[in-house]
Structure 1
Amino acid sequence: MKAKILAAATVLVALAAAYFFLTEPVEHKAPGASWRFPELAAVDGLDIELDGELLSLRKADEERWVLTDPISFPANPRRVARILRWLDGSGGERAPLIIGEREASPGTLQRFGFDQESSPIRLAVFADEQQAYQIVVGQESDGTTWIRPDGEDRIYQLNQLVRASLVSELDNWRDDTVVALTDAQREHWTSVETQYGDHTLRFRRDGTEWLLQEPEGVTTDARAISEFIEELDGLAANEFGDNVSEQESGLDSPVYTVVYGFDGLPSFRVEFGTTVASPEDENIIFRYVGVSTEEAS
């Protein structure tokens, strides 16, 4: 997989409606609500549908989630974690508590944001690669959110706001990390190769130290080598260049290349293309970067 990215160099509410929401009684049945969130050992998939557009996320392994629809791309771990936290209450956040419920009459559904004009969100939650349950997310009000579980003839009021965690531009769902070594990669990291024009530097790992293999016979500073090798770790993208050709980005003939090698793990290559000034400030320079992986032999 190769992904081209642009890496960064350095209310008015009507009084009548308000009165209605404040005065109409709500059936508060938190301790004995007729529906509760299913307890799942581990969520491994999320489908989010809004206005006919589907966004699918799947768990790739213990550390990573990926987008599978509408594009295939590593998922933003922070956005995924935010959804998982309110689904199960982990990470110190409140677990989803039902504090009220109503019958799902046509008038109630319209009033609380479940009609199509209100753009309800449909969220399907998967476990063991099978859909575990599905809810429709309606209107938010006074720090709460109304939901309707699939097949239920009632709507339920949650004790927190959740729509913002489910709605965002596609690029915000994408992982903007260019280089971020995992613990496994650090443990099995064996080599680094850099190419700049006709010049090549090859380093190999010897225990906790990095040694220069090529060119030979050059006096080196172990600390400087280590700092150089670690410099790219944590590099993040500013934008994604999906519609930029390799010729436009300069990735058909990279200015320089860095290849990370691992023992028993896929290696990956980071290629640096041409630079371009920021549209907002010409003094801020961005560079196109391409990342690709190669399975271990």
Structure 2
Amino acid sequence: MGKGLVTVVALALGAGGLALSACSDGPSLRSAEAPAVSEKLFAPASTGTQGTKAAAPVFTRISVRAQGDTTELAREPDGKWSIVAPVKARAEAAAVEALLETLGSTASSPLVKDTPTDADLEKYGLKSPVFSVTAHAFLPDASGGGEDVPSRQHTVTLHGGVENMFDGSVYVRRDGDSKVYAAQGSVRWSLDKDTFALRSKELLGELEANELTLIEVRAQERGYVLEHEAGTTKWRLTKPVAERADEARVTSLLKNLKEYRALSFPADSAQTRKKLGLESPLIDARFTPRSGEPVRIRLARVMEDGAPRIHALREQGPDAVLGEVPEGALSALDVDVLELKDKHVLNFRREDVRRVVFHPGNGVAPITLVNASGMDGGSESWQVESPRQGKAQHFRVVSLLRVLGTLKATSFGEARPKNWAKYGIGDASRGAVLLGADGRELARLWLGGEVPDASGLSYARGSGPEVMEVSVEGLVLPSRAEDLMEGAPAPAPTEARGP
């Protein structure tokens, strides 16, 4: 964690002006002339050189006793923090960052009581502290080392008491120091944390699309399998249909899953799993990474007091975590396969296109263009080949190919219809055919009739086997050869679209 290397630790409270103290009858004003003592938890070792700034301590272990829990945290070699007791789990990054920032603050703390009695400690909540934090750190040498050098190691325990209701400050003291100080209320907010508050709630996340090779999801009424094409960012649906997958939708699926954080962590056992329905889950998903063990996530619902409660079991190798999650986690994975399909109408690579045939429809002769440039990767040189010959408008052709490549369906209709004609789609339909260097068809677009009660949408047939609904706005296909030839003006949209 970047905040692991913090500044010298001190109890935080601004100095100067009128400070507040507590007495047996409640809070009272302490003279502005009374010293605000700055006490540092981790005193830097002397550098031996006047004016040389001491190295900040590096925290390695922290123990927090608060709200009935004792939580042990350890800093990993990569700088991240984990909980090692009472459970082994990842730590909540934001909570640990706030804790370290508080320990690393360097403001002054007003002295409340120099030599408190037992009665004073009882009054301040320090006889039996409300919370205690023990921090272990080392002062690094010039090379950043010194973690194993005893003389560079420091351990300090800070005890927190009750809140001063007059100003919201909290009473604190340290082991080995009898004095009582007043620290600002944010100290308690950062340090008075139970195990749940310090534990990472990210139960379903840490799944990145580019790190996975396979996603398998089984739900009660539907399921799907997604495979990552090696060496690319592309995904394919392999079950229940074999289709291109929408890369953005796969990424958002995993991102949405991450948003459903754990609400609680029930004790895990075979009996608990059975009681919560995890032996026959609503959703059973497996995520296979490029390296390492697969991640299995099961989601189940139980009713308690008439309300649904959703529990998730995440397993990876020997590790298993059981948690309660928001109900929306079910819909994050239980999605219709149509949502996962690539919505691009045509599937082709722009650089493979060597010939384009536009079909104006209504019996008008097709318009054929050919890329006259060589296959050595040189600049394109499009020519109109028929029904007239001439040089094509380069940017007009490039623009048309770009639009065809980005054209997406707004929704899918009937799959593999027996009668395409009922959608106005046939050999005489308006459209375009894209061909490769060997004459092989790369992609074909047919535009059909208008979708009823959907202004601006038309039926279409593309690279997939189903009827698509597409927006024809901005799709201006040529109706004559002159529309593409140099020296001829670009057609008006209404004229180009045809009937």
> What is the root-mean-square deviation of aligned Cα atoms in Å?
3.6
* Structure 1 residue matching 2:96: 3-state secondary structure: helix
Give 2:71's aligned residue.
Answer: 55
Give 1:6's aligned residue.
Answer: none
After superposition, give the CA deviation of every residue in 1:43-75 in whole Å (9 maximum; x if it has no partner): 232212358852222234657433333333333
User: How far is 1:227 from its partner?
Assistant: 4.1
Q: Greater Rg, structure 1 or structure 2?
A: 2
Partner Cα distance (1:159, 1:199) in 2: 54
2:215 is equivalent to residue 192 of structure 1: yes
* Structure 1 residue matching 2:95: 3-state secondary structure: helix
Q: Which of the numbers 106, 128, 136 marks the counterpart of 1:126?
A: 136
Q: Which amino acid in 2 is paired with 1:171?
A: F
Q: Which of the numbers 151, 157, 167 marks the counterpart of 2:176?
A: 151
Q: Tell me if structure 2 keeps the 8 A contact 1:86–1:96.
A: no
2:278 is equivalent to residue 251 of structure 1: yes
Partner Cα distance (1:29, 1:229) in 2: 52
Q: Residue 96 and residue 254 in structure 1: after superposition, are their counterparts in 2 closer, same or farther (change >3 A)?
A: farther
2:40 is equivalent to residue 36 of structure 1: yes
2:88 is equivalent to residue 80 of structure 1: no
* Structure 2 residue matching 1:162: 3-state secondary structure: helix
- After the TM superposition, which of the residue ranges 52-61 and 202-211 deviates more from structure 2? 52-61
Q: Which of the numbers 280, 294, 302 marks the counterpart of 1:276?
A: 302
Give 2:121's aligned residue.
Answer: 109
Which one has more relative contact order, counting CA pairs under 8 Å at least 6 apart? 1
Q: Which of the numbers 12, 25, 28 marks the counterpart of 1:22?
A: 28
Q: Tell me if structure 1 keeps the 8 A contact 2:68–2:194.
A: no
Q: Which amino acid in 2 is paired with 1:248?
A: K
* Structure 2 residue matching 1:237: 3-state secondary structure: coil
- After the TM superposition, which of the residue ranges 119-128 and 49-58 deviates more from structure 2? 49-58
Partner Cα distance (1:150, 1:50) in 2: 17
* Structure 2 residue matching 1:269: 3-state secondary structure: strand
Give 1:9's aligned residue.
Answer: none
Q: Residue 131 and residue 203 in structure 1: after superposition, are their counterparts in 2 closer, same or farther (change >3 A)?
A: farther
Q: Tell me if structure 2 keeps the 8 A contact 1:56–1:68.
A: yes
Give 2:397's aligned residue.
Answer: none
User: How far is 1:286 from its partner?
Assistant: 3.1
Give the gaps of 5 or more residues in structure 1: 1-13, 90-94
Q: Tell me if structure 1 keeps the 8 A contact 2:168–2:184.
A: yes
Give 2:414's aligned residue.
Answer: none
Q: Residue 28 and residue 158 in structure 1: after superposition, are their counterparts in 2 closer, same or farther (change >3 A)?
A: farther
Q: Tell me if structure 1 keeps the 8 A contact 2:71–2:194.
A: no
2:181 is equivalent to residue 173 of structure 1: no
Q: Tell me if structure 1 keeps the 8 A contact 2:285–2:298.
A: yes
Q: Which amino acid in 1 is paired with 2:88?
A: S
Higher strand proportion, which one?
1
* Structure 2 residue matching 1:45: 3-state secondary structure: strand
User: How far is 1:232 from its partner?
Assistant: 1.9
Q: Which amino acid in 2 is paired with 1:28?
A: P
Q: Tell me if structure 2 keeps the 8 A contact 1:189–1:205.
A: no
Please give the TM-score of this superposition, normalised by the length of structure 2. 0.45
Q: Residue 108 and residue 225 in structure 1: after superposition, are their counterparts in 2 closer, same or farther (change >3 A)?
A: closer
* Structure 2 residue matching 1:81: 3-state secondary structure: helix
Give the aligned length.
Answer: 263
User: How far is 1:126 from its partner?
Assistant: 2.0
After superposition, give the CA deviation of every residue in 1:189-246 in whole Å (9 maximum; x if it has no partner): 333222346965142254222223x348623342544444544232222333326612
Q: Residue 22 and residue 217 in structure 1: after superposition, are their counterparts in 2 closer, same or farther (change >3 A)?
A: closer
Give the gaps of 5 or more residues in structure 2: 1-21, 45-55, 138-146, 319-499
Partner Cα distance (2:209, 2:124) in 1: 50
User: How far is 1:151 from its partner?
Assistant: 1.1
2:163 is equivalent to residue 140 of structure 1: yes
Give 1:218's aligned residue.
Answer: 242
Percent sequence identity over aligned pairs: 15
Partner Cα distance (2:125, 2:225) in 1: 60
User: How far is 1:24 from its partner?
Assistant: 5.3
Please give the TM-score of this superposition, normalised by the length of structure 1. 0.71
Q: Tell me if structure 2 keeps the 8 A contact 1:88–1:96.
A: no
